[in-house]
Every structure is written in C-alpha cells, then in structure tokens.
Amino acid sequence: MSRNTVNTTVSIMPADALFLSWATGINASGLFREALAEQMAYRDIDRDELSNLVDDALTDNNRDFEDLLEQTSSIEDMNALLEADPSTD
C-alpha cells in the first residue's frame, strides 16, 4: 500500500521570515518538528507510540489519513478506533 506524506503550510510573522532568510543554515522544517516534539512531550504523547498507531490504522485498506482526521481528536480516540476495528488485530 502506498503512503502519502502529508504536507502543510505554516504562516509565519514577517520578522520570522526575514530572520530565516538571513540564517540560511537553519532548517525551518526541523525547527517545526522540534517544537512539535516538545508539544507532544508536554501533552504526554509518545511520538513512537503515535507513529505506530497511525501506521496500524493506515494499513487497513478502507481507511486513509482523512478518515483519521475525521474520526479522532486524541490518542485515546486513536486507540478506541483501533480496538473497535477487528482488521487491525
């Protein structure tokens, strides 16, 4: 099954954009991932666990990423979705 990478755009303040243009060695997407990891840790979400849950959910041929967005709003929702789905056992 082929997997698509989800891309998104982020709006930043003009001063931040200017700084990033000056500091060409800074990986802005890396900064975003670092900040996201910090927020996941703050909310007690284990990234590896979430990655595994998402992979498990997407292996079901009847579900795609849009389904996950519509059906879940927390890691508890993701766990419940997988527990209710006998095809992920």
- If you write DSSP's letter for every residue of 57-84 in order, what string do you get? HHTSTT--HHHHHHH-SSHHHHHHHHHH
Contact (CB, 8 A) for 60 and 88: yes
CA dihedral over 39, 33, 72, 86, signed as positive or negative: negative
**Domain count of the fold of the chain:** 2
Q: Report the chain (89 residues): mean pLDDT per 10 consecutive residues.
A: 70 89 88 92 94 88 85 92 73
Helix 47-58, helix 28-42: angle, nearest 10? 100
Residue range(s) defining the domain that contains residue 88: 45-89
Residues 50 and 89 occupy one common structural domain:
yes
Give the per-residue pLDDT at 14: 92
Are both 39 and 61 inside the same structural domain?
no
The answer to whether residues 59 and 83 belong to one domain is yes
Q: What is the pTM for the complete model shown?
A: 0.70
Check residue 89 and give its pLDDT: 53
**The pLDDT value given to residue 3:** 64
Whether 58 maps to a domain, the answer reads: yes
Alpha-carbon separation of residue 86 from 5, 10, 55, 81, 82 (angstroms): 26, 37, 15, 10, 8
pLDDT value for 5: 75
Pair 52, 79 in one domain: yes
